[in-house]
Amino acid sequence: MPVTTATRRHQGNRGGIAKRTRDMRTDRDGDMLMGTAPRGRPQAARGGRGALQPTRPPPAPGMSDSRRGGHNSSFKKEQLLSALRQGSIRAGGTERNGPAQSGNIKITGWTKSEAYASSDGGLGALISWLERRVNISIKKRNAPRKTAPPRTFKLAPNKYHVEGDALIISAMGSDVGDLLHLNNFEFSGVKIKVEEIPKESEQDSSAGNQTRQMLKDFLHRRYDPSAKLLNLSAIGQDQEILNTGMFATASTQSKFIPALMKVCDGIFKSAEEKKDTVQSITLANNALDSLVAVKEVAPTFPDLLNLDLSNNQFPSLDSLSGWKTKFKHLDQLIVSGNPLEQNNADYAADLAGWFPTLRVLNGIQIRTEEQIAKKQKAIIPIFGANFKDISGIGESFIKTFFPAFDSDRNGLVRHCYDPQSTFSLAVNPGAPRDPAQQGFKQLQTWDRYIKQSRNLKKITHLNPRMNRLLTGSDDITKFWQSLPLTRHPNLESETEKWLIECQSVPSIPDPSGNSPQGVDGLIITVHGEYEELDGPAGQARIKRSFDRSFILGPGGLNGIRVVSDMLTVRSYGGCAAFTPTDTNTGTNQPVTETTMEAPQQALPTLTNEQTQMLTELARQTGMNIQYSKECLEQSQWNFQAALETFAAVQPNLGPEAFAQ
Amino acid sequence: MSNVPADIRTKISTEAAESFAESYYLALRSSRATIASFYLPKSESPDGKIYPSLVLNGASLDDGMTVQKFFIEEMPFTHYEAQSIDCHVLNPNLKPLESGRKAEAERNMSLLVSVSGWVRLQELSKGPMRGFSETFVLVPNEEFPKGKAPKTDKKSWLIQTQNFRYVT
């Protein structure tokens, strides 16, 4: 199989540490490709290399952030230095011995297999064969427990590469043993050889020590304690590094930063110490065209505040995407002097999105501290219920509705629903659960609901969509009878379990037909919970949460009719979310707190027809408006019936009935 | 009453609700500059009521542009997942129609849409997650291109009323 070794392509006098060995892929002919571009980016996109734009002056080492970097840190350069000199350093590499932890596995012999004839040289077949075999081992080990295997072994593309006729795999834990177990197994007609590559320290311990010492010296030279800056710029020009021959081959170059990061990990005893000591890193002037050689910087310094990547060869934002969402506290970033500036017009906006805390990009402020602080809060502030009622109609309705839904659904439908009212139920079993009950997952069954659920995400056909929308009191009555009995919390003594809001809504159909444009109504949104009961006085079986939206309009027996009623029942989610986080309601957001005090008398708006009846009855009988209205209400707004009622009661009416 | 058959009305209303929810929550995540275009322009009715009427976690917001600004300037990354959607036709005869065009009559309604789901904040995989419930009243966009008119980026339905709440 022809293999091309990755070579440095643009060393120049900037000295590259970019190196591609670990990123090699095979193409369809089995040849090794040298692309670094991740996820199929066309190679052509990397044009213009070498044409380094001298944009802004290189910023290092002045990247220290006076805003965040100035706070007291007990760290002294001497501490780093003495730590470096003392034997106490947990230098990387030496402690992670033993196949139980991690190891590099070399597999040979497979290139003689029949599968080698396939387009990828049999690599794909080998990988899936290895995965299958290791998974069998995992399963076998797990078999006595009679549970599902705890995990599936999968070889991610960054965990293996091909060197010559050897497949090199880096594996962890028991996978190492499982892979070694496959030595002399037959793959595609040939016996393969599986062996562990000895660790570097075992391989050549004196050379390893030498390297470590060299790296420590390098760190020593490159650390600026006043700026808390680790200057990793222009490594290829570092005379002492060049003298050691460390940069002589592409292979050692690619190992430089990983080795350096291991040494760093050994120096710092805690993440806190690391964070206080190194706040800025510059990787400027390294001719980097991908993150491959430097990616270990992110896990080693996750709390970095300032990062300088200027004057490299990053061709596009994609080449930096490996660090997207890394560096959670990044405050300043410099990417100037990279081809990506030309190739990605919107790079600034994208980078701002990648790093939510980023304040300064290429020396230009893109966010204020206040904006970042707000974003960090990460939530829409939660205010108390916004209840913009009209004449107490909404409040009165709610106070009638929920007790009646628990005790007398038929009566409720008769009073509040009419032949045009619509109702439907939607079930959301996958809704987030109560965060206070983590770990305790009440078993939720939905069979009493699911057959009637109209959740449009699940019900995609037109017929059930039509059938599951109930129109008119009769159908709604029938449907409600099929639902479990409920007990809602008390609206007055358990207010914390409710969140009820009310807004006005225009253009509600007018059943009287007097307003073809429709009339004003209310939209009431209710979030709450209820218990399902076994029987009328029965045991509570389970708690559900629900969201319910009502549209109320004028009409019906009580002057109010439910135009539309949408109920969503979901897994119990608790009521913690209803508590306002932002009690500062005096800001620019006018909020009316709901005050569920004693129910006010509902004063429903009369329809035009009713107003006409009222005026006419008052005129004919001489009664005042209040008495006329009561008379009409008793007669269900039937004018003839009202006249008869008046005739019946007239002898008993006192003068107050006629007092205007 | 409306002459539009019930099956046509159900089809149009439920599909409108689904595609609205899909594009609206996608816009909140990744095209926040288009958020305002989902809203009815601000207007005041003769009796002094102002629409759109927008309430997010209890706070009244002025109009679509206010929502857009709020998301661009103050909200972190958000990913909304609508787990449940339902929709009723609220008013099947919204406006007196000028033309007898069928397509126009079929859309001449207001919709009540309810959504239940979760939103992931800050980060898609590991960010904090909240359950939410949201109710909309949608009305047809009168500026939506009719018939064979060239398509624009105008939304076909606009938010007239909105009520959002975290519920977990």
Question: Which of A331, A504, A509 has the alpha carbon at shortest distance from A420?
Answer: A509
Q: Provide the percentage of residues in chain B whose pLDDT is more than 90.
A: 63
CB of B9 within 8 Å of any CB in chain A? no
Which element (helix H / strand E) includes A540?
A: strand A540-554
Q: What is the pLDDT of residue A34?
A: 39
Q: What is the pLDDT of residue A457?
A: 96
Cβ contact, residue pair B130, A432, below 8 Å: yes
- CA of B145, closest CA in chain A: separation in Å? 23
Specify the range with the lowest mean pLDDT, choosing from A224-233, B82-91, B139-148.
B139-148
Cβ contact, residue pair B161, A505, below 8 Å: yes
Best mean pLDDT range from A223-237, A269-283, B16-30, B141-155: B16-30
Picking from A459, A505, A585, A605 by the largest number of B CB atoms within 10 A of its own CB, the best residue to mutate is A505
CB of B109 within 8 Å of any CB in chain A? no
Q: What DSSP letter does each residue of A130-186 carry, written as one string?
A: HHHHHHHHHHHHHGGGTS--S------GGGEEEETTEEEEEEETHHHHHHHTTTT-E
| Crossing angle of the two packed helices A625-634 and A639-649, in degrees rounded to 10 | 110
Cα torsion A481, A487, A493, A499: sign? negative
Alpha-carbon distance A185 to A649, whole Å?
105
Confidence of residue A594 (pLDDT cuts 50, 70, 90): very low
List of domains in chain B: 6-167 (3.10.450.50)
Specify the range with the lowest mean pLDDT, choosing from A342-346, A486-490, A647-651, B23-27.
A647-651
- Considering the segment(s) A606-660 as one domain, its CATH architecture is Orthogonal Bundle (1.10)
Structure tokens at A50: 């070498």
CB of A527 within 8 Å of any CB in chain B? yes
Q: Cβ contacts (< 8 Å) between A386 and chain B: which residues? A: 55, 58-60
Instruction: Tell me the pairing of strands A540-554 and A519-533.
Output: antiparallel
Q: Check: CATH 2.130.10.10 for A98-199?
A: no
- CA of A385, closest CA in chain B: separation in Å? 5
CA A499 to chain centre: 25
Best mean pLDDT range from A59-73, A130-144, A243-257, A456-470: A456-470
A497-513 as b/e: b if 16+ CB within 10 A: bbbbbbbbbbbbbbbee
Residue A568's SS3 state is strand
CB of B90 within 8 Å of any CB in chain A? yes
CB of A516 within 8 Å of any CB in chain B? yes
Cβ contact, residue pair A371, B74, below 8 Å: yes
- CA of A200, closest CA in chain B: separation in Å? 36
Residue A323's SS3 state is helix
Averaged over A204-225, what is the pLDDT?
79
What was the ipTM of the complex prediction? 0.96
CB of A497 within 8 Å of any CB in chain B? no
Whether the predicted pLDDT of A188 surpasses 70: yes
Structural domain boundaries of chain A?
7-85+203-375, 98-199, 393-602, 606-660
| Mean pLDDT, rounded, of chain A | 77
Confidence of residue A582 (pLDDT cuts 50, 70, 90): low
Alpha-carbon distance A509 to B90, whole Å?
8
| Contact present, A5 and A24 (Cβ < 8 Å) | no
Q: What is the pLDDT of residue A368?
A: 84
Alpha-carbon distance A177 to A261, whole Å?
27
Interface of B with A in 114-153 (CB under 8 A): 114, 116-118, 121-123, 127-131, 133, 135, 137, 139
Q: Provide the percentage of residues in chain A whose pLDDT is more than 90.
A: 26
Confidence of residue A100 (pLDDT cuts 50, 70, 90): very low
User: What pTM did the predictor assign?
Assistant: 0.54
Alpha-carbon distance A64 to A48, whole Å?
32
The listed CATH number (3.40.50.880, 1.10.287.180, 3.30.70.141, 3.80.10.10) that belongs to domain A7-85+203-375:
3.80.10.10
HEC string of B84-132?
Answer: EEEEEEEECCCCCCCCCCHHHHHCCCEEEEEEEEEEEECCCCCCCEEEE
What lies within 8 Å, CB to CB, of A588 at 6+ separation is none
CB of A568 within 8 Å of any CB in chain B? yes
Averaged over A625-640, what is the pLDDT?
78
Whether the predicted pLDDT of A590 surpasses 60: no
| Contact present, A65 and A307 (Cβ < 8 Å) | no
| C-beta neighbour count of A29 within 10 angstroms | 11
Which residues are paired to A365 by β-bridges?
A: A360
Q: What is the pLDDT of residue B79?
A: 93
| Model confidence pLDDT, tens digit, residues B43-67 | 988 778 899 999 999 889 999 999 9
Select from A378, A380, A462 the Cβ nearest to the Cβ of B57: A380
| Contact present, A430 and B96 (Cβ < 8 Å) | no
| Model confidence pLDDT, tens digit, residues A125-160 | 899 999 999 988 888 888 777 666 678 888 888 888
Confidence of residue A207 (pLDDT cuts 50, 70, 90): low
| C-beta neighbour count of B135 within 10 angstroms | 28
Q: What is the pLDDT of residue A599?
A: 32
Question: Which of B23, B51, B66 has the alpha carbon at shortest distance from B154?
Answer: B23
Q: Provide the percentage of residues in chain B whose pLDDT is more than 70.
A: 98
Select from A356, A462, A568 the Cβ nearest to the Cβ of B10: A462
Residue A604's SS3 state is coil
Alpha-carbon distance A251 to A5, whole Å?
10
| Contact present, A369 and B68 (Cβ < 8 Å) | no
Cβ contact, residue pair B10, A457, below 8 Å: no
| Model confidence pLDDT, tens digit, residues A6-50 | 434 444 444 444 444 444 444 444 444 433 333 433 443 333 333
Q: What is the pLDDT of residue A381?
A: 67
- CA of B153, closest CA in chain A: separation in Å? 22
| C-beta neighbour count of A576 within 10 angstroms | 13
Cβ contact, residue pair B168, A551, below 8 Å: no
- CA of B10, closest CA in chain A: separation in Å? 6
Whether the predicted pLDDT of B18 surpasses 90: yes
A330-347 as b/e: b if 16+ CB within 10 A: bbbbbbbbbbbbebbeeb
Interface of A with B in 298-337 (CB under 8 A): 325
Alpha-carbon distance A606 to A611, whole Å?
6
| Contact present, A446 and A532 (Cβ < 8 Å) | no
Confidence of residue A172 (pLDDT cuts 50, 70, 90): confident
**Distances in Å between the alpha carbon of A595 and those of A382, A384, A591, A642?**
17, 10, 12, 37
Whether the predicted pLDDT of A60 surpasses 50: no
**Distances in Å between the alpha carbon of A191 and those of A110, A166, A186, A456, B1?**
7, 14, 4, 56, 81
| Contact present, A383 and B59 (Cβ < 8 Å) | yes
| Model confidence pLDDT, tens digit, residues A553-576 | 998 777 899 999 999 999 999 888
Q: What DSSP letter does each residue of B20-78 carry, written as one string?
A: HHHHHHHHHHH-GGGGGGGBPPPEE-TTS-EESEEEETTEEE-SHHHHHHHHHHH---E
Averaged over A208-218, what is the pLDDT?
80
Amino acid identity for residue A118 in this structure: S
Alpha-carbon distance A279 to A304, whole Å?
5
Residue A331's SS3 state is coil
Residue A428's SS3 state is strand
What lies within 8 Å, CB to CB, of A621 at 6+ separation is A628, A631, A643, A646, A650
Whether the predicted pLDDT of A589 surpasses 50: no
Q: What is the pLDDT of residue A311?
A: 93
- Fold classification of A393-602 is Nuclear Transport Factor 2; Chain: A, (3.10.450)
Q: What DSSP letter does each residue of A483-537 carry, written as one string?
A: SPEEEPPPTTT-GGG-EEEEEEEEEE--TTSS-TT-EEEEEEEEEEEEEEESSTT
Whether the predicted pLDDT of B104 surpasses 50: yes
Instruction: Tell me the pairing of strands A560-570 and A422-428.
Output: parallel
Amino acid identity for residue A656 in this structure: E
| Model confidence pLDDT, tens digit, residues A247-263 | 777 777 788 888 888 88
Q: Which stretches within A532-649 are classed as H helix?
A: 608-621, 625-634, 639-649
Confidence of residue A458 (pLDDT cuts 50, 70, 90): very high
Select from A381, A454, A549 the Cβ nearest to the Cβ of B59: A381
What lies within 8 Å, CB to CB, of A654 at 6+ separation is none
Longest dimension (CA), chain B: 53
Cβ contact, residue pair B10, A385, below 8 Å: no
- Alpha carbons within 13 angstroms on the beta-carbon side of residue A3 total 14
Residue A432: closest CA among chain B residues belongs to which residue?
B131
Q: What is the pLDDT of residue A608?
A: 77
| Contact present, A359 and A367 (Cβ < 8 Å) | yes
HEC string of A47-111?
Answer: CCCCCCCCCCCCCCCCCCCHHHHCCCCCCCHHHHHHHHHCCCCCCCCCCCCCCCCEEEEEEECHH
Residue A587: closest CA among chain B residues belongs to which residue?
B59
Cβ contact, residue pair A428, B129, below 8 Å: no
Residue B92: closest CA among chain A residues belongs to which residue?
A509
Q: What number of residues does chain B have?
A: 168
Averaged over A59-67, what is the pLDDT?
41
Question: Which of A501, A488, A582, A503 has the alpha carbon at shortest distance from A540?
Answer: A488
Cβ contact, residue pair A456, B73, below 8 Å: no
CB of B59 within 8 Å of any CB in chain A? yes
* Strand ranges across the sheet with B110-121: B59-61, B53-56, B157-166, B129-140, B110-121, B78-91
Alpha-carbon distance A315 to A18, whole Å?
13
Amino acid identity for residue A623 in this structure: M
- CA of B131, closest CA in chain A: separation in Å? 5
| Model confidence pLDDT, tens digit, residues A376-434 | 554 566 777 888 888 888 988 999 999 999 999 999 999 999 999 999 999 998 898 88
| Contact present, A510 and A607 (Cβ < 8 Å) | yes
Alpha-carbon distance A464 to A461, whole Å?
6
Specify the range with the lowest mean pLDDT, choosing from A110-114, A184-188, A201-205, B112-116.
A201-205
Alpha-carbon distance A284 to A5, whole Å?
26
Q: What is the pLDDT of residue A477?
A: 96
| Model confidence pLDDT, tens digit, residues A373-392 | 766 554 566 777 888 888 88
- CA of A596, closest CA in chain B: separation in Å? 16
Residue pointed to by tokens 């962890």: A172
